Structure 1
Amino acid sequence: MGPGEQTITNDEMLAAEYNSEYLGVTHFQLMETVGARIADRIAEKTRGKTNPRIHIIAGPGKNGGDGFATARHLASQGYKVRVTLVARTSDVHDEAARHQLDAILQMTDSIQFESLPDSSQLRPIEADIILDAVLGYGIKGELRQPLLGAVRIINRSRGYKIGLDLPSGLDSDTGEPHGEAVKADLTISLHKIKQGLLKGTQYAGETISLPIGIPPEAEAYAGPGDFKILWKPRPPTAHKGDYGRLLIIGGSENFTGAPAFSALAATKCGTDLVYVASPDKTAEIIASYSPDLITIKLPGDHLNPRALPELAKWTTTADAIVLGPGIGLHE
C-alpha cells in the first residue's frame, strides 16, 4: 500500500457501487473497467515473457465476472488465457457477470474455458500468472465446497498469484480468513484498499488500489446505497421497538407541523416507535396526524423548564432524540 492511499469498509464499498448505479455508472461499466485495467496490470507483469501462461480461477459471482472480463481483455491483447469456473455456467446469475461469461464462451480460439463444479476435479496449476477471481468482498461464514477447494488448489499451485480485489476467503473488514484464504503475491484492490488488507498482510502480499470509475459523488453524497446498507430485513419474530425508538421534542402553540412531519418521516423510514413530546394542546393536534404517533403532553404552551421531569423519563428509553422542530423563539 502506497502513501496516501485510502481504505474502505465493506459497507462503504457496497454503498459506493449502488450509488454509482444511481448516478448512471452501471455495474456492467465498472466490471468492464476492472477487466481492462487488471488485464493491463497482468500485461505489465508478463512483459518480456514469451507466450506467458495465464490462468484465471473464477467463482460464479461478481468477482468471477471481473475475471471473465479480464480474460476477454487479455485475449484482445493477444494473450492465450485459460479460465476455470468453479461452478456450473448456470450458477452465474449476476446479470453483468453472465454477460461477460457469455462473451468468453464464444472465444474458443483465444480462451480455453472449463467449468468444474466439483472441487475434486480441480488440480494444482502451473502458470506464470494465476488470477484469483473466486470471491470478493462481503462473504459470510466459513468457506464451503467447491469454493474452499478452489482456495486450496490456488495455494498449492505454482505461479505468481494475484488476488482480484481480495484474496478469496479473506474478510474485507477484519482481515481474518473465513476458515481458509488464498495467499496472494499481489492483491489489486478495486477502487480503494479494503480495510481488511491492512490486517491480513500474510494473505494479501503486496497491495495496490485500482481506480475503476466510481464517481466521487457516489461517496460524497448520501444515496440509495447508503440507505440499502442501513435497511435490514425484519424477521417475523421481531418485537415492537427492536428497530428503533425515536423521541422528538418540539412544537409550540403556533407550530404543530414541524414535529408532526418529522415524526411521520421517521415512521416512513422504518422507525418502530416514534414519540413526540410537545406542549399539551400541541400534542393533541399532532396526535391527529396519524395513529402511529405516540404523543407526550408537556405543561404549558411552549417548552419550558417545567417539562424537564417528564422529558427525563422518556429520554432514557429513546435510541435517538430530535430536538427543536417547531420549538419557537420563546425565552
Structure 2
Amino acid sequence: MKQSLGRPLYLADQVRELDRRTVAAGMDGFALMQRAAMAAYDVLRARWPGVRRLSVLCGSGNNGGDGYVMAALAVCDGIDVQLIAVSDPAGLKGEAARARDMAEQAGVRIRHWHAGLTLDGEVAIDALLGTGLKGEVREPYVTAIETTNASGKPVLAVDIPSGLAADTGASLGHTVRADITVTFIADKFGLHTGAAPAHVGEHRLETLGVEAGAHADLVPAAWLMVESRIAEALPPRRRDSHKGHQGHVLVLGGAPGFGGAALLASEAAARLGAGKVSLATAREHVTASLVRCPEVMVHGVDSPGEIQALLAAADVIVIGPGLSQAPWGQRMLQAALKTAARLVVDADALNLLVTRWPDLRRDNWILTPHPGEAARLLNIAGSEVQRGRLAAVTQLQHERGGCVVLKGAGSLVAGPNRVGVCPFGNPGMASGGMGDALSGILGALLAQGLPLEIAAEVGMLLHAQAADAAAEAQGERGLLASDLASYARRLANPMES
C-alpha cells in the first residue's frame, strides 16, 4: 500500500546538528543567520504589508541574533523599529554579537528591557528564547513574555514561541502566543502537540536550503500526518463488493445506565463502511439503538456466555465505550481478551487494563487513551504525560504493543514503525462522546482490512478532519460527537467527494 508519511519532525538537538553540519560544509554561520532572518522578515512583510513600526524583543542567543538582523532589515526598509534587549547586548557572542553590530550600524537604537515598558510597534517580533530552553522561564523573560501577550499586538515568533519546549510542546511556565511562527532548517516536534496549538498560530517552515532528509542518520522523531493518506488507504471499492468483504465490527459496551457511548461508536462504525456492525449492550439500551440506527444488529446481554457467538463472528471488537468498571464491564472485557480478533480498546476498558491486566500486551490492538487514561496506564501523573507526550505514547506502545493513540491537541499515533502527529482538530472536540466516535471509526477501518498502523493514523485523520468540517459549517461551540459521522463518511470517500 502506497504511503505518504508526511513531513518529518525533529528534536532540537537534531536540528542543531543539521545547523552544525551546514556550517562545517562551508556555509558561514552568520550568513545562515542572515538567511533565516531574511526568510522571517519576508513572511512578516507578506503577512502585514502595511506595517510601519515594529517592536523587536531580543534575547541572548542566536534566536536574539535573528531578531537583531530582522531589526536591521526593517530599518533599511524604512520601518521604525523599537528594539528591546531583554538580555544585556554587551554580553552577546559569536554570530549573535555580529547581528547586534549589524543592527547598530543600520542605525537601530537598542533599548534595555525594564518592567512597565510599552510595546510601541504595530507588530511584535518574538526573538527571546529559542529551542535550547530546557527549564522553566525565568525573569526578566517572564515579564517580557507576559507584556507581549498582554499588549494586544500581533506577534511573529522566530523559530519557536518563547517558552514553548521544542521537544515536547509543553509550556515552560510562560509562553508567547504568536499569530505566526517561522521555524528554520527542519520542523520541530514540539510545534505540533500539547500546548503548541495555543501558541504557534500559523506555522511556516523555512529550510534555508538545508536538506534534512539527506542526513539518513538523523531519524525523525515523528511525522506530521497528511490528508493524502486517506485517499491512499481508501480507494474506491470494487463494483462487485458485498458486505461480507467489508468486515464485521462488534461494539461491546453500554453497561446499565451508560448506553449512549456504545451507540455513538456503533453508528460511527456503520457510517465509516463496516459491512456489518453488531452491538452487545445492556438490555435496557436495545430499544434506543433500534430507534437511533436500525442497521446496527443490537443484542441485549447480561453475561459472557451470551456473546460467544458474537465474538466468534466478529473480525474486530471495539470495547470500552460506556463499559464501566463494574462486574458487567469486567466480564465483557475478559471475554473479548480471550479472542484472537483485532481490538480497539477505549475508556473504561483501558482503566480495567490498569487494575486487572497490568502487564497484558498484544500486537493486534489499538489503545486510545486520553492523557488521564495514559497516566493511569503508565502509573504517572497526568501533567507528566502532557509535559512529555512523545515519551508517554512511545513508552505505552513499547509496553503494551500494537498501536497507541494519545488523544488531545496534536494527537499522537504510535505504532511499531513510527509516531504520527495529527495536525487537524479543534477545541469544539472538547465534548463528551468524541472518543467513542473515534473508536467506531477505527473499528470500521480495521474491519475493511487496513493494517493496524495505517488504520490508526487514517482513523485519527478522519476523526479530526470531520470535526473541522463540522466546525466550519456551524462553529466549534456546541459541536457534538454525533455530528462527526456524516462528515467522516464524506471524507472516507475521497474519490467521490
Q: Secondary structure of 1:152's partner?
A: helix
Contact 2:164 2:170 in 1 (8 A): yes
Q: How far 1:92 sits from its partner (Å)? A: 1.2
State how far apart, in whole Å, the 1-side matches of 2:70 and 2:85 are: 14
Q: Secondary structure of 1:132's partner?
A: strand
User: Superposed, which structure 2 residues align to 1:208-287 within 5 Å?
Assistant: 208-216=204-212, 219-220=215-216
- Which residue number in structure 1 is paired with residue 41 of structure 2? 39
Residue by residue over 1:82-129, the C-alpha shift from the partner in whole angstroms, topping out at 9 and shown as x without a partner, is: 211102122212x11101101212333xx332122xx42x42424321
From the superposition, tell whether residues 161 and 142 of structure 1 become closer, same or farther in structure 2 (CA, over 3 Å).
same
- Which residue number in structure 1 is paired with residue 166 of structure 2? 172
From the superposition, tell whether residues 219 and 79 of structure 1 become closer, same or farther in structure 2 (CA, over 3 Å).
farther
- Which residue number in structure 2 is paired with residue 138 of structure 1? 132
State how far apart, in whole Å, the 1-side matches of 2:173 and 2:81 are: 30
Q: How far 1:180 sits from its partner (Å)? A: 1.1
State how far apart, in whole Å, the 2-side matches of 1:115 and 1:125 are: 13
Matched pairs, number: 212
From the superposition, tell whether residues 215 and 198 of structure 1 become closer, same or farther in structure 2 (CA, over 3 Å).
closer
Q: How far 1:168 sits from its partner (Å)? A: 0.2
- Which residue number in structure 2 is paired with residue 65 of structure 1? 65
Q: Secondary structure of 1:127's partner?
A: coil
State how far apart, in whole Å, the 1-side matches of 2:91 and 2:214 are: 30
Q: How far 1:80 sits from its partner (Å)? A: 2.1
Contact 2:186 2:212 in 1 (8 A): no
From the superposition, tell whether residues 90 and 46 of structure 1 become closer, same or farther in structure 2 (CA, over 3 Å).
same
In the alignment, does 2:20 pair up with 1:21?
A: no
From 166, 175, 183, give the equivalent of 1:181.
175
Contact 1:33 1:213 in 2 (8 A): no
Contact 2:33 2:66 in 1 (8 A): yes
State how far apart, in whole Å, the 1-side matches of 2:213 and 2:164 are: 28
Q: Secondary structure of 2:130's partner?
A: coil
Residue by residue over 1:244-284, the C-alpha shift from the partner in whole angstroms, topping out at 9 and shown as x without a partner, is: xxxxxxxxxxxxxxxxxxxxxxxxxxxxxxxxxxxxxxxxx
Whichever residue aligns with residue 115 of structure 1, its letter is H
Q: How far 1:15 sits from its partner (Å)? A: 1.1
State how far apart, in whole Å, the 2-side matches of 1:75 and 1:162 are: 17
State how far apart, in whole Å, the 2-side matches of 1:211 and 1:77 are: 24
The structure whose Rg is larger is 1
From the superposition, tell whether residues 115 and 218 of structure 1 become closer, same or farther in structure 2 (CA, over 3 Å).
farther
Q: How far 1:215 sits from its partner (Å)? A: 4.8
State how far apart, in whole Å, the 2-side matches of 1:210 and 1:86 are: 26
In the alignment, does 2:95 pair up with 1:96?
A: yes
State how far apart, in whole Å, the 2-side matches of 1:76 and 1:4 are: 38
Higher relative contact order (CA 8 A, sep 6+): 1
Tell me, which stretches of 5 or more residues in structure 2 are unaligned?
219-497
State how far apart, in whole Å, the 2-side matches of 1:207 and 1:217 are: 20
Q: How far 1:4 sits from its partner (Å)? A: 4.5
Q: How far 1:217 sits from its partner (Å)? A: 7.7
Q: Secondary structure of 1:193's partner?
A: coil
In the alignment, does 2:112 pair up with 1:115?
A: yes
Q: Secondary structure of 2:174's partner?
A: coil
Q: Secondary structure of 2:154's partner?
A: strand
Tell me, which stretches of 5 or more residues in structure 1 are unaligned?
223-331
- What TM-score, normalized by structure 2, do the two folds share? 0.41
Identity of aligned residues (%): 26
Q: How far 1:28 sits from its partner (Å)? A: 1.1
- Which residue number in structure 1 is paired with residue 242 of structure 2? none
Residue by residue over 1:175-214, the C-alpha shift from the partner in whole angstroms, topping out at 9 and shown as x without a partner, is: 1011111111111111222111101111111111112233
From the superposition, tell whether residues 100 and 12 of structure 1 become closer, same or farther in structure 2 (CA, over 3 Å).
same
- Which residue number in structure 2 is paired with residue 204 of structure 1? 200
Whichever residue aligns with residue 146 of structure 1, its letter is P
In the alignment, does 2:153 pair up with 1:159?
A: yes
- What TM-score, normalized by structure 1, do the two folds share? 0.60
Q: How far 1:76 sits from its partner (Å)? A: 2.3
Q: How far 1:218 sits from its partner (Å)? A: 6.7
- Which residue number in structure 2 is paired with residue 84 of structure 1? 84
State how far apart, in whole Å, the 2-side matches of 1:173 and 1:221 are: 18
Q: Secondary structure of 1:151's partner?
A: helix
Contact 2:76 2:106 in 1 (8 A): no
State how far apart, in whole Å, the 1-side matches of 2:89 and 2:191 are: 30
Q: How far 1:20 sits from its partner (Å)? A: 1.1
Whichever residue aligns with residue 198 of structure 1, its letter is H
- Higher share in strand: 1
Q: How far 1:216 sits from its partner (Å)? A: 4.8
State how far apart, in whole Å, the 2-side matches of 1:99 and 1:218 are: 30
From the superposition, tell whether residues 21 and 39 of structure 1 become closer, same or farther in structure 2 (CA, over 3 Å).
same
- Higher share in helix: 2
From 145, 149, 152, give the equivalent of 2:143.
149
Q: Secondary structure of 2:172's partner?
A: coil
State how far apart, in whole Å, the 1-side matches of 2:70 and 2:26 are: 23
**Aligned-pair Cα RMSD in Å:** 2.0
State how far apart, in whole Å, the 1-side matches of 2:64 and 2:110 are: 13
State how far apart, in whole Å, the 1-side matches of 2:216 and 2:21 are: 10
